[in-house]
Structure 1
Amino acid sequence: MKLALLTALTMTAFAANSVLNRAAVGSGSIDAASFALIRVIAGIVILCMVLSVRGTPLPLFRRARVLGAVSLAAYMAGFSLSYVVLDAGLGALILFGVVQITMFGWGAFRGTAPTARQMAGAGVAFAGLLLVLWPGPGSRTDPAGAMMMVIAGLGWAAYTISGKAESDPLPATAANFLLCLPVLALFLIGPDMHAGPVGIGLAVLSGAVTSGLGYALWYAVLPRLAQATAAVVQLSVPIIAIVAGAAILGEAVSALMVVAAALVLGGIAWAVTAPKVPANHS
C-alpha cells in the first residue's frame, strides 16, 4: 500500500508540472522563458540539498553531461513555450506520446527487434498522436505549440535514453539541471521577459517540488517496481493532467481528445506489456 501511494504521488507530481506551467504562462503572470529558467534554478537548489543530505558528490565533468544538459534544455524550453497556447492535458498527452514512441523507435533502431504486438501497439499510439496533432474540424491544437511540445518530447526521450547508463540517476539529474541552465539562458533570455509574484511562485513550486522532489521520489520508488509496471503506471500522467486541467483550469475535454488519449495510452500500454522476445528467438 505504501509503495502504491508513493507511486501515485509521484505521477501526480509529474502531471502537476503541466498544470502549473499552463496556469502560470497561460494566465500571463509570467513569460515562458522566465518560467523555464526559474523552474530549473529551483530544481538545482532542491536537488543539491538532497545530495548534500546524502553526502553524494555532484558528477559535473563527464562526457554524458553534454547530451544530458542539451536534451534537458530542449525539454524545458519546449515544455514552457508550448503552454503559452496548449491546454495542460493536451500538452501532457503530446509529450508522453512523443517520448514513448521515440524510445520505442530508438530501441528498434539499436537492434531490439519488436514483436508484432509491440509494432501494433506503437502503430495505434502513433495514430492517436496524429489524430490529436492533425489540424482540422474539432481540433483545438495550435500547430506552433504542438511543435514546441514535440521538441520537448524528443528532448526528454534523448535525456532518458542517455541517462540509462547512469549508475545513480539523482546526482546525474542535479548535474544536468545545473549545466542546462546556461544553455537555456543563452537561448531564452530576452527583452520581453516578465514575472509577477504568482508566476514566480508557480515556477518555484514546479521546479523544487513537482520536478526536483518528484524526481527524487521517483528514483526511490523505481527500483521497487517491475519494469512493465513502471512503464504502465506512467500512462496515468496524461490522464491526471487532463482531469486536473479540466477541474482546476476549466479546460474543455472534447470527444476528439478522449479518442486520441485512448488510442495513445492504450497503444502504449499494449506495447510495453508485451512479453520479451527470447534471446534465442529467430
Structure 2
Amino acid sequence: MALIAFAANSILCRLALGNESIDAAGFTIIRLLAGALTLIGILQLRTYLDARDKRSFGQLSSKEDSIPQSKGSWFSGLMLFIYAALFSFAYVSMDTGTGALILFGAVQLTMILMSIFKGERLLAIEWMGMIAAFAGFVYLVLPQLGTPSLIGFLMMSVSGIAWGFYTLAGRGSKNPLSDTSYNFLRTLPLVSVLFIVSIQQLTLTAEGVLWAFLSGSLASGVGYSIWYSALRGLSSTQAAVVQLLVPMIAALGGVMFMSEVITTRVMISGGMILGGIALVVLGRYYLTAKA
C-alpha cells in the first residue's frame, strides 16, 4: 500500500509540475501543508474514537491502552522538508527518467551504506538481488535518460539522501501515525520561510493546487504513515530495494489511467525488479531457516 501511494505521488507530481500548472515552491508548500492538516485530522479522530470506546466499553487492556504517543523528531521533519523541497525544484530541471535514477540511486546508496556502517552484513544472494533489481530499474528508465544540469543533479541527490535518512529514522517508530503527523507539523516553520521567500514568484492554478493537495494528503501523508508501519518488518536493505518497485507501479498506473501501452521493456524490467526484490526479501530468511 505504501509503494502504491509512492507511485501515485510520482504520477501526481508529473501531472502538476510536468504540465507547469504550479511552480516547485507552491507545490512543496501545499503538499506539506495538506499532509500536516490531513494527518492531524486523522490523529484527532483516532484519539476521539479511542476515548469514546473507553467510555462505552470500559478501560481497555493494558496492552491496548499502552500505545506510545511518540511525536517524531525535528531531524525527521528536517529530512522530510529537504526531500520534498529539493525533489520539486530538481524535478522541473530534468526529465522523469533521469530524476528517478538519481533519486533512487541516492536512496539505495544512503540506506545500504548506513546499514553496513551499523554492522549489517549483506549475504551474496542479497547483493545479487539488489544488483538485479537496480539493473531492471535502470533498464526501465533508460529511454528517458538525459544529461541533467549540475544543480539539478545535486538537488535530486540530496533529496534522495534526505529520504534515505527519513526512512531509516522511521524503522524504530512505535506509533507510525503519530510520528508521521508530527514530522509533517515540524516542516511548517520551514514551509513558512519558503512561502515568504517565494511569494512573489508563486504560480498557482486550480489544477495544480488540486494535484499538490492530493499528493500531500493521501500519497504523502497517509502513504508515509503506512510506510513507517511497514518498516518495522523490513531490514534497511530490504526497505531500500523494495522502493525500486515504485517506478514499475507508476508505469502500470500510466497504463491503467493514462492509456499508456505495456511495452516489452516494461515487462522485462518488471521481471528483473521483482526477481531481484524476491532474492533480497526472501534470500536471508530462506538461508537462515535452512541453516
Specify the alignment match of 2:127 in structure 1: 119
Q: Bigger shift: 242-251 or 10-19? A: 242-251
Alignment of 1:261-272 (within 5 A): 266-272=275-281
Following superposition, the deviation at residue 74 of structure 1 comes to 1.6
Specify the alignment match of 1:164 in structure 2: 171
Structure-2 change in CA distance of 1:132 and 1:240 (3 Å): closer
Q: Provide, for residues 164-207 of structure 1, a one-character-per-residue CA deviation record: whole Å limited to 9, x for no partner.
A: 22211211111111112322443574232211111111111111
Alignment of 1:59-208 (within 5 A): 59=70, 65-86=73-94, 91-92=99-100, 94-125=102-133, 140-144=145-149, 145-186=152-193, 189-190=197-198, 191-208=200-217
CA distance in 2, matches of 1:85, 1:195: 19
CA distance in 2, matches of 1:213, 1:30: 22
Following superposition, the deviation at residue 30 of structure 1 comes to 0.4
CA distance in 2, matches of 1:141, 1:165: 38
Question: 1:25 pairs with 17, 25, 33, which one?
Answer: 17
Structure-2 change in CA distance of 1:59 and 1:168 (3 Å): closer
User: 1:121 touches 1:271 (CA, 8 Å); kept in 2?
Assistant: yes
**RMSD across aligned C-alpha pairs, in angstroms?**
3.9
Following superposition, the deviation at residue 53 of structure 1 comes to 1.3
Q: Count residues in correspondence.
A: 263
Specify the alignment match of 2:222 in structure 1: 213
TM-score (norm 2): 0.72
User: 2:180 touches 2:225 (CA, 8 Å); kept in 1?
Assistant: no
* 2:248 maps to 1:239: yes
Q: Provide, for residues 100-147 of structure 1, a one-character-per-residue CA deviation record: whole Å limited to 9, x for no partner.
A: 34222211111111111222333445556777899xxx5533524454
- Where structure 2 has 5 or more consecutive residues not aligned to the other structure, the ranges are 49-67
What code does the residue aligned with 1:99 have? V
Structure-2 change in CA distance of 1:162 and 1:105 (3 Å): same
User: 1:89 touches 1:243 (CA, 8 Å); kept in 2?
Assistant: no
CA distance in 2, matches of 1:85, 1:122: 29
Specify the alignment match of 1:4 in structure 2: none
CA distance in 2, matches of 1:54, 1:91: 37
User: 1:166 touches 1:172 (CA, 8 Å); kept in 2?
Assistant: yes
Q: Which has the larger radius of gyration?
A: 2
- Where structure 1 has 5 or more consecutive residues not aligned to the other structure, the ranges are 1-6
Q: Provide, for residues 25-79 of structure 1, a one-character-per-residue CA deviation record: whole Å limited to 9, x for no partner.
A: 111110011101100000000100111012299755xxx6232011111210122
Structure-2 change in CA distance of 1:260 and 1:85 (3 Å): farther
Q: Bigger shift: 98-107 or 13-22? A: 98-107
